[in-house]
């Protein structure tokens, strides 16, 4: 049997895990949103992200060989095997923190998928080109909320600033490629994420300025998610996400 393309599998899992975990976090809001329309907006975004992650898992399962399916990859891997961005696993906190997490990620994801739609791998190109149409809405919705909260009431601004302090240290990782990412980028399948740092910062700065918020400078950046070293949040997320398959192995409905 031919050896599976491990770098490609790891890369696909990184993309799949990142979208799955943010989807899982957003869906925790289901039924708890501040108003019905926003509850629906966030769960719609969760659904889009879940769809993207399924596409990446299905493809990862094919590439890996090993009898994997999208379900075994999502439900039966441990914390150290998950390769999602640390940003996506951060708690929902309040509405400001959820909004800011979504904006910082969507703004990055849009720029990143804009490049991946030209991937030499036709499946990655197809998945990302399709997802871009949806991400455009996520960026618009979340950036409008960042502006509304930042340039809103005294209270909403305090909360936005607190969210920035909490989440900013997890943004650096988006632009630091793991070794499998570097290999995949070199092969024309992925893209060097470090190239997007400047334009992402510019985009965020424009929105923050409109929101009368300040972009932090010289913050120590946390890393590790891409290689399976997570914050303490991750175990709790997987406990809930994987509970049914762990408690009743192979159950189906």
Partner 1 sequence: MQDEIKNITAILETVSDPEIPVLSVTDMGIIREVKMNGDSVEVIITPTYTGCPAMDMIAMNIRLALIEKGYRNVIITSVLSPAWTTDWMTESGKQKLKAYGIAPPQTPSGIPSDGTIACPQCHSTNTRCISEFGSTACKALYQCNDCKEPFDYFKCH
Residue 109 tokens, joined:
């994801």
Distance CA 65, CA 60 (A): 9
Least distance from partner 1 to the Cβ atom of residue 216, Å: 29
Least distance from partner 1 to the Cβ atom of residue 75, Å: 18
SS3 169: helix
Strand ranges in 61-208 using DSSP code E only, listed in sequence order: none
In the complex with partner 1, which residue's Cβ is closer, 98 or 183?
98
Binding mask 117-156 for partner 1 (x = CB under 8 A): -----xx-xxx-xxx-xx-xx--xx---------------
Angle between helices 6-27 and 95-116 (to 10 degrees): 150
Distance CA 162, CA 113 (A): 29
Least distance from partner 1 to the Cβ atom of residue 84, Å: 17
Residue 179 tokens, joined:
């070794």
Q: Name which position in 41, 85, 116, 189 contacts partner 1 (CB under 8 A).
A: 41
The set of residues, in sequence order, having a beta carbon less than 8 Å from that of 164 and lying 6+ positions away, is 100, 213, 214, 216
In the complex with partner 1, which residue's Cβ is closer, 136 or 205?
136
Least distance from partner 1 to the Cβ atom of residue 24, Å: 13
The overall longest dimension of the chain from CA atoms, in Å, is 63
Residue 76 tokens, joined:
């039966």
**Is 79 a binder of partner 1 (CB under 8 A)?**
no
Q: Name which position in 12, 17, 21, 48 contacts partner 1 (CB under 8 A).
A: 48
Residues engaged in binding partner 1 (CB under 8 A): 37-38, 40-41, 44-45, 47-52, 54-55, 122-123, 125-127, 129-131, 133-134, 136-137, 140-141
């Amino acid at each position: 049997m031919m050896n599976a393309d491990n770098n490609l599998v790891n890369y696909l899992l990184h993309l799949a895990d990142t979208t799955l975990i943010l989807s899982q976090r957003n869906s925790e809001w289901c039924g708890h949103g501040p108003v019905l329309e926003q509850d629906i907006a966030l769960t719609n975004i969760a659904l889009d992200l879940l769809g993207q992650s399924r596409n990446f898992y299905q493809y990862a399962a094919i590439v890996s060989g090993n009898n994997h399916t999208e379900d075994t990859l999502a439900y039966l891997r441990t914390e150290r095997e998950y390769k999602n961005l640390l940003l996506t696993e951060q708690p929902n906190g309040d509405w400001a923190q959820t909004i800011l997490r979504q904006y910082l990620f969507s703004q990055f994801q849009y720029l990143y998928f804009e490049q991946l739609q030209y991937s030499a791998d036709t499946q990655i190109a197809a998945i990302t080109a399709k997802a871009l149409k949806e991400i455009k809405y996520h960026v618009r919705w979340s950036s409008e909320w960042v502006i509304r909260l930042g340039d809103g009431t005294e209270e909403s601004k305090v909360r936005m600033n607190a969210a920035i302090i909490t989440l900013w240290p997890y943004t650096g990782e988006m632009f630091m490629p793991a070794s499998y990412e570097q290999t995949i980028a070199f092969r024309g399948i992925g893209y060097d994420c470090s190239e997007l740092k400047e334009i992402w910062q510019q985009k965020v700065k424009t929105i923050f300025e409109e929101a009368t918020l300040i972009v932090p400078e010289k913050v120590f950046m946390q890393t590790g998610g891409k290689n399976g070293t997570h914050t303490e949040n991750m175990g709790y997320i997987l406990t809930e996400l994987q509970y049914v398959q762990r408690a009743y192995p192979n159950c189906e409905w």
